[in-house]
Structure formats: C-alpha cells, structure tokens
Structure 1
C-alpha cells in the first residue's frame, strides 16, 4: 500500500485484508500494517479480525451479505445534501439527531457523512483567548518591527533574547474533548475552544526563558502583590540565572522581550532593564 491509498472504502479495506490473509498474516499484523499507512482512515481492529476470520474460513466476496426486506435506498444525492446542510449548520450535531430529523437509520447517516461528504469529527484545539482585530493588527506590526531589527542577523539576535511573561495558574472545568468534537471536512482547520468557568483558586507564575530553555520560574506568594519593586527583584534573579546558566551572554548584551505591563515599565524595573548589558 502507498500513502496515496489512504482514503479507501469499506470494500477496499476488506480487499486489503483478504490479500494479507492470503499472504499468511495474522489479524494483528494486518491491523498494524494498515494503521501505519492509512492512519486515521484505517478500519478498526474489530473489523479486521471479523473479516480476516471470514476470509480464513474460505469467504471470497468482499461485499456485504444481502439482507431480507426493503433494499437500502436512503443513500441518495438528496439525503447527502440534506445531511451536509445539517452538519454545516451545527458542527456538533450528533448522528442520532440527524437520523431523527431525516427518519433514516444512524448507520446510514454515518455512512453518508464519512463516505459521501468526506467529513470526520475531531476535538477542538485549546487556545488561551480570543484575539480582537486590534490585537491581531498590533501583533502583526510588532512582528514587522522585530523583523526589521533582526535584518540578516537572526541567529545572533535570537541568541541574545531573554523573554519574560506572566501567567495565571488556575483550575478549570473545561469542555471535555468528547463534548467539543465537531464534524469537519478533510483539509479544514480544527475547531477552537476557549477558557471557561475559571476557578477562584489561582497562582501567578513569572517565567524567564531564552533560546536554550527556561532560566527562571517564580511563583508569586499568596497575599503578595506584583509591583515594580517585586518585578525588579525578579529581574535581578533573572540576571543571576543568565550568569549561571548562559555564561558569556551578558557580555554580548541581553535583549529583554516583555510587554508593557505597568510593573515592567515601573521606575525600579527600568533601572535594571536600561543597564548597558540589557535592552528592552
């Protein structure tokens, strides 16, 4: 099998299983081989075992056995369009909800979604917060300014940078991965979800790091306020961490990368960040 064959129908899956059975492979070996090539499109191990057993017993057909009763006619272009419209209107809609809406079986709904609309359900990707258009524009301009500063000396500049940032360490009651799953077409970006239900318990962490790794992590003691003097003390500790962990960095001049929080621009902080060996 090749990477180009990574999107196969059920019948094609069975044909591959049949081939491997005739090669003498076990169901486990067949499953592992198919997963290594097809990845998320591979059939389940249960299906591989079922059809491997049938082929070992002498079955030749890869088609489903005919069933008594009315022939299946629900997989029509009209139903495909209806189901795709429902899914695009509500990316979190469930199979049983679509089945009830259209009065067809959940199995047929799943077949249409996976094989005819080329969609799958994946979990939302966690991001810290939603950026406004102004935030995005400001970040774009900051990036352009940085590129202008770097010029042709990207390695030298990045080696001199020490970044600092604060974050709240909280407990959350986020949406579960199962709850956040949405239908998406292949090639579409995964959905995003945002922080919800912040807990009352939190702890501020201040982290200093450079291109080699973390230099210093400070956890603000409970009941203490982050102010200019406290931050200035952290800068002094960060400077000592640079001396201990990145010898020679100070002599080349450190570029401190930080935001414009009030504690960062306080007089006590500026005294340290305007030192000849440090720039903002």
Structure 2
C-alpha cells in the first residue's frame, strides 16, 4: 500500500475531486480515494459532497467565493474618527452607548478607545476648596508670619502678640501651637450627590488631571454647612447656620 501524501493544499485536493467527478465517479467513492491517498483530514465526506454539488451546477473555480456581510473587523479609520468625535462631545459616554449609537460591536469600540485612540477613563480628583491665587498667597503669608513668630517666641514667656488670624492679642508661651485653633467646614447633604464613578471621563495620559469641587453637586435648598473648630487642648466646637437658613 502506498504511503499517504502528507503535504497537500486545498486547491490540490479540490482539483482531484473535480477530476474524479468529471469522470463520473460517485462522491462516496471520491471520498474513499482521497482518504486512501492523503493523510486524514484532507477533506471531509460532507465537503466532498458539497464540492461535487457545486461542480454539478457548473462551477469550475477551485477558489472560495468572496463572503458577503460585515467584514471581520470594524476597526477602521472611519469608525475610529466617529468614536473620537463622540468622546470629545461627551467624555462621560460609556462604551456600550458608543456601540449602540454607531452600531458596531462593543469589542471593536473597546479596541478603538483603548488601543487606537489611547483613552483611559478616570475620575476627577476631589479637592476640598477651589482656592484662588489670592487665597494661596494669603496662606503663604500667614504661614511665613507664624514661622517668624515661632522663632521670636522661642524661650520668651512674657511677650504679648497680635493674633495672626483675628487681630486679637494673646500671651505667648513656650509653645505657640497651644494658642492655635484649627477648623474646617463641610456640607451636610439632604440629597444623594453624584458618585465619583458617575463623574468619570475619558482622557489621554498627557491630559491634565481633572479636579472636582464639592459645589459641583446640585445642592438642595435645605443643605447645611457645618463649621468645626478645635484647639490643641479642649472641646470640639461644632456650629451650623441660624435656624431657617441653609448656609452661612
């Protein structure tokens, strides 16, 4: 028995089917001869019958016909441009929404957004206050004055100084920080504000970091501002707005 042919091509096997079919050989016999001549897997029984049907209908080409329908990939220049335009118009748009709007697969949108366009979705960075340049300058000046006072008060227990923040006087001691009061304020919301995940936007790695101030929320008319103050030693002071008012 001859050794089966190990190296073959699809066109070669199809040519054998066409040759045998043109001689009047039955499809079952064609498959038997191919199985004996070539290694297993050269052409299945169903494919032999399929090609015999096509040859019987008059087809002579051994090549596959072009397939109709959607191409294998939708990642092309046109879709890339459309996705980029949508993101630039609304940086909070989700991949699912982009896919529905453009009628392309979510996997394609994901590839375009992350691999082709280089976007990544991040949240805005929370900051307690949006300080102006004047606010920043005032903080620097006050900090410098506090440092100077610490140097002047070192070892001097009998000197009276003007308070940096209020203009009042106090008796200095060995530790200036015993006379300082720290404080802050916070909003008490009566509604559910937007979550950090809801505020995520698309950006490139080189884009500046977004910042989000608490006033970005849509405040309820009854929301409150609470002020908290505490000395180094003593009780915590908590105060709110007068009755009937939403804020100071």
TM-score by length of 2: 0.46
Larger Cα-atom Rg:
2
Instruction: Indicate the structure with greater helix content.
Output: 1
Higher relative contact order (CA 8 A, sep 6+): 2
